A and B are shown apart, each in its own frame.
Chain A
Amino acid sequence: AQKITQTQPGMFVQEKEAVTLDCTYDTSDPSYGLFWYKQPSSGEMIFLIYQGSYDQQNATEGRYSLNFQKARKSANLVISASQLGDSAMYFCAMREPRSNYQLIWGAGTKLIIKP
């Protein structure tokens, strides 16, 4: 069964608008971590933001925030004031306990920012 689901294969967003990228996850462990990575066309994987399952507040890193809804098992990435440089693939990943920090990855969402 899919443990990480990203339901949006692709998205077009107007520059300067906010964008939400969806991610749902499946785990029975109470302790886990959720990650978002960006992969621009150049190919490298860039860490954006982390949310721990016990964190009381939603994580934020600059223009990135994570809308963490534990009961719904969702961890959506919100990018405020999108920029042309935000065009990239975005991956959601989960780490379960006792996994030696292995990550389970979603299939990704391709985001294109229109000028």
Chain B
Amino acid sequence: NAGVTQTPKFQVLKTGQSMTLQCAQDMNHNSMYWYRQDPGMGLRLIYYSASEGTTDKGEVPNGYNVSRLNKREFSLRLESAAPSQTSVYFCASLRGQGAGKTQYFGPGTRLLVL
């Protein structure tokens, strides 16, 4: 049981390049989330997926797209990277029952856009 895995761990891009951040969970969770974390700030939600085949925008979706191809995987795509997208990206899935459901995080991807 690997929990939530993210690849790659680190990435350097040039402005205008594209890339996809991968996230997978093996806990059979329905809901998954993508966040970004910038220095001195809390996490901000980019996109989320309440279930397989559905996605919704979060607080900061501009410049990103997502795909929830199956229950396990939720990918985040940067079509044309910008320096403002330099950040740490976290994927999370939702576990637990009832009101006490909690988000369980992957290890993060550090992205530098030059």
Contacts and interface: CB of A to CB of B under 8 A. Distances in A.
Given A91-B42, A105-B44, A50 B100 contact: yes
Given A33-B99, A52-B99, A103 B45 contact: yes
A106 B105 CA distance: 17
Sorting the interface of chain A by its residue count into under 10, 10 to 19, 20 to 34 or 35 or more gives: 20 to 34
A93 interface: yes
Interface in B10-45: 31, 33, 40-45
B43 A100 contact: no
Contacts, number: 56
A104 B92 CA distance: 14
Contacts of B105: 37, 44-47
Interface in A77-115: 91, 93, 100-103, 105-108
Contact of B43 (A50, A52, A103): A103
B88 interface: yes
Interface residues of B, number: 26
B74 interface: no
Given A47-B102, A52-B99, A101-B94, A4 B42 contact: yes
B45 to A, nearest CB: 6
Contacts of B92: 45
Interface of B: 31, 33, 40-45, 48, 50, 56, 58, 88, 90, 92, 94, 99-105, 107-108, 110
Interface of A: 4, 31, 33, 35, 37, 43-47, 50, 52, 54, 91, 93, 100-103, 105-108
Give 10 nearest A-B pairs by CB, closest first: A105-B42, A45-B105, A105-B43, A47-B102, A100-B50, A52-B99, A107-B42, A43-B108, A106-B42, A101-B94
